[in-house]
Structure 1
């Protein structure tokens, strides 16, 4: 999943949580524990909003840059003193 998909999924679940807390609030009334649950759910909502605001900056920082490789042949001087992989030095016999 992408970051955007994960954030959307968390937002959906947080909305469900907020609805459940509201229904629970109707049954439990205005108790200290219920106020604490409402405050915690509100903090989660605020934290997710902050994360959503900062996510595009973090996701945009990883841009992939295309590198063009020319079809022109390489300069043969690049390969002076190089050994052929698996064959050894050009002056010796292969095993």
Structure 2
């Protein structure tokens, strides 16, 4: 069985669980703490399986236009003249 088949099987089981919880709610009422917890737990499982399905599908394809080229040349040192290296002390003998 493939991962997709297993996820589909789990989804079917969760659908059955949701139907069963719905029937229980009709018989027991919706107000009880226990049935609300079961309903919320089933909803969380459904959300978790959906997230698992997304992650199993792999990362979304990235379009080549989304890549940003990074040059190999060093940064211009003048960009950093107004800042100090954190944790290394002040430059140029300036002590705060």
- Distance in 2 between the 1:49 and 1:56 partners? 11
Aligned to 1:73: none
Do structure 1's residue 52 and structure 2's residue 53 form an aligned pair? yes
Where does structure 1 differ by over 3 angstroms across 4 or more consecutive aligned residues?
none
- Higher RCO (C-alpha under 8 Å, 6+ residues apart): 2
Structure 2 length normalisation: TM-score?
0.58
Larger gyration radius, structure 1 or structure 2: 1
Do structure 1's residue 18 and structure 2's residue 13 form an aligned pair? no
Structure 2's unaligned 5+ residue stretches are 60-96
- Distance in 2 between the 1:46 and 1:32 partners? 21
Q: What's the C-alpha RMSD, in Å, of the aligned pairs?
A: 1.1
How many aligned positions are there? 58
